[in-house]
């Protein structure tokens, strides 16, 4: 019996947005995410995308796993395909939902008749189908308010579909409908989660990472690349920019007061990121900062960082506790990679007593002791680009 997948996107997500372009992007993202699994026919009607496998060998479980990560899908279900006559619908319902109905105690039938030429009206379909199922499964009882299983019969243009289980989708908006931003991606727990959260709001993500060899190892960089790879399941393709940062960090160390190392480093990271954003047409920066977590994440430190930024800096984790961040990191499977113990450039020259409430004037004065612009220029020019594609 043929099985298809229905992906539903809640109308809520469409408020104030151009529905057609929203759908176009969602369909394109779905196609990209599953195309390596075989051929599919993909159509849409009434806030639902119909995904029909066209190759025998297609692994529907894997299709579901991938679609669960596609933002913009509110819920997913597998459905059995029937001919548009009630005899076939009855037969296939019992065949397709046998297991689930054998174990359930209560159920109800829900009918949706998009094709108004179908000879039975929705209440009639519900009533007839309810009777069929009660005869076939005598242990079942009808519960219209809180049923364990809702058997849905949908009569559409070419076929009828039956399904019983709705699985929660990733929610959010399709990646690409909210513009393009640059994620400052370290190897830590926080920044991958920040990227995930902005992608969920429809933002297409590129990532920038600063390395300081020989103080940081190849393994540390590799770990960040692994994080990028993991994020592609949610974010789609990610352009990854790797910036050589050693000379800048050494210049900070040799020319600036130790208590301001971190904040100056953060400002220089931003300046480089802004240059890459300009080239890549990114409209915002994203970081994994959360207020009060470390010395560089106090309000005054954040103000000093933002003072060099001419575009918005999104900090989706700003009000989250570490435990909440870790929960999400586990859910999106970045946690285990993030906790691998490789050094980050931030930890290389960590001051013993970082200034908790730096004043912008002091920071600017300290920076003016040294002309960082040639080093910034060099770092930008030597930045390496690698594209991470979504792969199985
Ligand atoms: P994370 O868990 O994301 O590493 P953190 O708690 O370690 O965050 P910081 O070290 O203060 O906090 O870094 C704050 C933010 O600065 C990070 O979330 C990230 O966005 C950015 N960042 C830090 N180090 C790097 C780096 N080497 N490359 C790119 N971005 C970085
Ligand atoms: Mg970190």
Structural domains of the chain sorted by starting position, each given as residue range(s) with its CATH number in brackets: 3-168 (3.30.2130.30), 180-388 (3.40.50.620)
**pLDDT at residue 86 is higher than 80:** yes
Q: What does the pLDDT average to over 80-104?
A: 95
Q: Considering only CA atoms, which of 276, 313, 303, 287 is closest in space to residue 361? A: 303
Phi, psi of 342, rounded to the nearest 5 degrees: -110, 145
Atom of ligand 1 lying closest to residue 187 CA: 4
**pLDDT at residue 294 is higher than 80:** no
What's residue 291's pLDDT? 87
Atom of ligand 1 lying closest to residue 294 CA: 11
Distance (angstroms) between ligand 2 centre and the Cα of 188 equals 4
Q: Considering only CA atoms, which of 117, 147, 142 is closest in space to residue 129? A: 142
Distance (angstroms) between ligand 1 centre and the Cα of 231 equals 16
What's residue 11's pLDDT? 60
User: What residues does ligand 1 touch, defined as CB less than 6 Å away?
Assistant: 184-186, 188-191, 208-210, 287-289, 293-294, 296-297, 344-346
Confidence of residue 12 (pLDDT cuts 50, 70, 90): low
Q: What does the pLDDT average to over 89-116?
A: 94
Distance (angstroms) between ligand 2 centre and the Cα of 70 equals 27
What's residue 59's pLDDT? 94
Q: Rounded CA gap, 384 and 208, in Å?
A: 10
Q: Rounded CA gap, 371 and 225, in Å?
A: 32
Confidence of residue 320 (pLDDT cuts 50, 70, 90): very high
Beta strand ranges found along 149-215 (DSSP E) = 149-155, 160-163, 167-168, 180-184, 204-211
Q: What does the pLDDT average to over 175-193?
A: 96
Distance (angstroms) between ligand 2 centre and the Cα of 289 equals 9
Atom of ligand 1 lying closest to residue 288 CA: 18
Q: Residue 392 is encoded by which pair of tokens? A: 């199985």
Model pTM? 0.92
| 119 vs 347, higher pLDDT | 119
Confidence of residue 21 (pLDDT cuts 50, 70, 90): confident
Q: What is the mean pLDDT of the chain?
A: 93
Count the Cβ atoms, other than its own, within 10 Å of residue 333.
Answer: 13
What is the number of the ligand closest to the CA of 185? Answer: 1
CA dihedral over 336, 341, 347, 351, signed as positive or negative? positive
Task: Please provide the distance, in angstroms rounded to a whole number, between the alpha carbons at the two ends of the chain.
Answer: 27
């Amino acid at each position: 019996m043929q099985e298809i997948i229905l992906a539903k996107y809640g109308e809520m997500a469409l408020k104030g947005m151009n529905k057609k372009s929203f759908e176009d992007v969602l369909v394109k993202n779905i196609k990209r995410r599953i195309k390596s699994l075989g051929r599919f026919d993909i159509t849409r009607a009434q806030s639902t995308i119909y995904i029909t496998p066209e190759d025998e060998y297609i692994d529907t479980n894997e299709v579901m796993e991938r679609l669960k990560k596609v933002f913009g899908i509110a819920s997913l279900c597998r459905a059995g395909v029937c001919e548009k006559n009630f005899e076939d619908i009855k037969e296939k319902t019992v065949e397709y939902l046998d297991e689930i109905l054998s174990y359930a105690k209560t159920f109800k039938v829900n009918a949706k008749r998009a094709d108004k030429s179908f000879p039975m009206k929705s209440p009639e379909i519900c009533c007839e189908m309810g009777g069929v199922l009660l005869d076939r499964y005598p242990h079942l009882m009808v519960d219209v308010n809180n049923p364990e299983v809702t058997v849905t019969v949908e009569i559409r243009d070419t076929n009828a579909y039956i399904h019983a289980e709705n699985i929660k989708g990733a929610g959010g908006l399709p990646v690409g409908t909210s513009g393009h931003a640059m994620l400052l991606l370290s190897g830590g727990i926080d920044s991958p989660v920040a990227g995930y959260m902005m992608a969920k709001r429809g933002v297409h993500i590129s990532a920038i990472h600063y390395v300081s060899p020989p103080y940081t190892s190849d393994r540390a960089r590799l770990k960040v690349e692994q994080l990028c790879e993991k994020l592609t399941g949610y974010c789609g393709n990610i352009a990854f920019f790797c910036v050589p940062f050693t000379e800048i960090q050494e210049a900070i160390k040799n020319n600036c007061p130790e208590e301001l190392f971190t904040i100056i480093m953060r400002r220089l990271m931003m300046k480089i990121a802004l240059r890459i954003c300009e080239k890549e047409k990114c409209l915002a920066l994203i970081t994994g900062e959360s207020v009060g977590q470390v010395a560089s994440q106090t309000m005054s430190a954040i103000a000093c960082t933002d003072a060099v930024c001419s575009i918005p800096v999104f900090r989706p984790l700003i009000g989250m506790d570490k435990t909440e961040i870790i929960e999400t990191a586990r859910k999106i499977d970045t946690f285990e990679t993030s906790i691998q113990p490789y050094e980050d450039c931030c930890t290389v020259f960590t001051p013993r007593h970082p200034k908790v409430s730096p004043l912008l004037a002091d920071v600017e004065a300290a920076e003016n002791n040294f002309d960082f612009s040639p080093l910034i220029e060099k770092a930008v020019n030597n930045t390496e680009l690698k594209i991470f594609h979504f792969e199985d």
